[in-house]
Amino acid sequence: MSGPGGPPKIASSTATRAPAPRRFPALFPSLRGFRASWIPADLLAGALLAAIAVPEQLATARLAGMPVQTGLYAFAAGSLAFAVFGVNRFMSVGADSTIAPIFAGSIAVAVARDGHEYAEMAGLVALVAGLTLVLVGVLRAGWVADLLSTPVTVGILAGISAHIVVGQLPSILGIAAPQGWLVYRFFDELRALPHANLYAVAIGASVFAVTFVGERLSPRIPSALVALVGSGFAVVFLHLQAKGVATLQPLPTALPAIALPWSTDTAAVLHAIPIGVIVALTCIVQTATVVRVFATSDPEGDDLARDFAGVGAGSIAAAFVGAFAVDSSPPRTAIVQEAGGKSQLASVVAVAIVAAFVLLGSSSAAYLPEAALGGVLLFIATRIFKLGAMRDIARRSGFEVMTVIAGALLVIVFPIETGMVGAIMLSLGLGIYQIARPPSTELLRLKGTTIWWPPTGDGDVEKVPGIVVFSPAAPISFTNGHYIAERLMATVAAEQPGVKLVVIEAATVIYVDYTGSGILMQAVTALRSQGIDVAVARLSDRRAQAAAQRCGLIDAIGSDHVFKSVYEAITALG
């Protein structure tokens, strides 16, 4: 049959068709387009990643309050799960020092108070965190990452670094770990300084120094591994175990038992849920940062939601093998990228090397001093304490450095999960305040133009007699409707007598809700009762247009009083 106005359409199996859009495969999406030429680079990146990861994962497991081998289990589970489900080609997933203190402190409180099993609680938290991340990925709710401002995030990291330092000082000093509030523990540790084991102190300080200097020379140098190996030799040749230096136990060579991370203890489950959600939110923020900083060159290779789900799958897998929640790692991801890694094959290679280490070198862990792992964690604490970012915030944004301090104090002063919630609420509160108190202002005309601009203070702008142009500078909603209306009426009152026309410049109004429109309609009625006409200009956002029409704001102002520019409104009505 012939289509209207054209030749007949002919069905043919040989007809030219537009190429089907490329889709990610359901599994192993980072391997899309894989080429054999990538293999050497991925092998090298994987070897370097393993050298960096082994000491870090062992140390992070101690930070999490778990047996050190579970750090390696977490690395294997997180890396393999992300390789299967994640998209980013460089991202390294495993045990992470940012989230470990968050759930470790909370789990310890639950164990002491209710008698829960620590490992069981860690698995439950990992499961909750993983399911939350998968849900966020499926719903494509990556915007959740934007709920935490950078200053608050920097403050949270500073507080976490304080927890790491205080938590590792007993291992480095060779003293018994005190209990209680962080600040009290710190002062107890200071009082115990005269009883410190100087050999342990020397080992911790040396490992820290070697790791710190090596990182400064090149992140690709496995300085932490070199330092740990050196500390092991020191234990053997200087007989430090006989001198009171505590060491680890040999790593078990058996595969971890796979079990469902669930509990019939309702109290344990209820306690794990809020901790897991907080851990998931931290993972969301960090993963979003990693994806944005270490984006792939392929625009189709960056899918934040899919990467959230990949990290979540890693936490779920870690829970099933008796480990704990995992997260993406900015430093390890940087190593993979800088080493020339091309795909997640690098992470798979790293897991294979770690497995070989466990099988062949597990007994060597018996010579690894606890103080050495403490030194590695002290270095990690300095890495997440973003002093440079604090300076930048103080220089560029002044008062926002106070939110850095507030975020840090909340995490330090309160139990860490409570402090995290408080810091999140602080970030949300600041965001709501900025919406509730927008910089609504009168606009003036740039001399010799038809452009309306905020007052500049340099004489380039001028008032037009009888006309007030007002910019709300925000969506108009229940949070700020009264404030905007009050600022509008105050601006008009300051120009009286003689005001004949008010133009609301609405370029920044991207939405109008029912409450906000009602408040603004009352202001319009009040102005017109004073003989002042009211118009709207530049309401360009379609969602805002539809909402203003639906809520009755357009009818109240009059459709003939809605214009595309301030100049057009003044020309028509002024």
Report which residue type is found at 258. I
Instruction: Give me the DSSP letters along 97-162.
Output: TTTHHHHHHHHHHHHHHH---HHHHHHHHHHHHHHHHHHHHHTT-GGGGGGS-HHHHHHHHHHHHH
Three-state secondary structure call for residue 94: strand
| pLDDT at site 15 | 40
Two structure tokens written together for 409: 């104090």
Gap between the Cα atoms of 207 and 373, Å rounded:
8
Kindly state the helix (H) or strand (E) to which residue 482 belongs, with its residue range. Answer: helix 481-495
- Phi and psi dihedrals of 562, rounded to 5? -110, 120
Q: What share of the chain is helix, strand, coil (3-state, %, to 5)?
A: 65, 5, 30
Please state whether 283 falls in left (phi above 0), alpha (psi between -120 and 50) or beta.
alpha
Beta bridge partners of 497: none
**By the 8 A CB rule, do 519 and 479 touch?**
no
Gap between the Cα atoms of 363 and 298, Å rounded:
44
The domain spans of the chain are: 36-432, 441-573
Gap between the Cα atoms of 151 and 406, Å rounded:
10
Gap between the Cα atoms of 250 and 248, Å rounded:
7
Two structure tokens written together for 350: 């790293």
| pLDDT at site 21 | 41
The CB density around residue 503, as the number of other CB atoms within 10 Å, is 28
| pLDDT at site 264 | 67
The CB density around residue 415, as the number of other CB atoms within 10 Å, is 15
Sign, CA torsion 94/96/102/105: positive
- What count of Cα atoms within 13 Å lies in the side-chain half-sphere of residue 230? 18
Gap between the Cα atoms of 337 and 294, Å rounded:
8
What ranges make up the beta strands (E) of 194-280? none
Taking only the tens place, the pLDDT of each residue in 38-49 is 899 899 999 999
The CB density around residue 523, as the number of other CB atoms within 10 Å, is 20
For the chain, give the number of residues: 574
With a CB cutoff of 8 Å and minimum separation 6, the contacts of 567 are: 450
| pLDDT at site 7 | 38
Gap between the Cα atoms of 310 and 80, Å rounded:
10
Three-state secondary structure call for residue 278: helix
Kindly state the helix (H) or strand (E) to which residue 461 belongs, with its residue range. Answer: strand 461-462
Two structure tokens written together for 275: 């901790």
34 Cα distance to chain centroid: 29
Burial of 22 (0-12, 13-18, 19+ CB in 10 A): exposed
| Domain 441-573 homologous superfamily, CATH | STAS domain (3.30.750.24)
Burial of 376 (0-12, 13-18, 19+ CB in 10 A): buried
Two structure tokens written together for 334: 């940087």
Taking only the tens place, the pLDDT of each residue in 287-331 is 988 888 777 655 454 578 889 999 999 999 999 999 999 999 988
Instruction: Give me the DSSP letters along 290-346.
Output: HHHHT--SSGGG--HHHHHHHHHHHHHHHHHTT----EE-HHHHHHHHHTT--STHH
Report which residue type is found at 489. M
Of the candidates 457, 365, 336, which has an alpha carbon nearest to the alpha carbon of residue 82? 336
* Omega before residue 497 within 30° of 0, cis: yes
pLDDT under 70: residue ranges of the chain: 1-25, 114-115, 263-264, 296-302, 457, 459, 574
Residue 479 DSSP label? T
Two structure tokens written together for 420: 């995290």
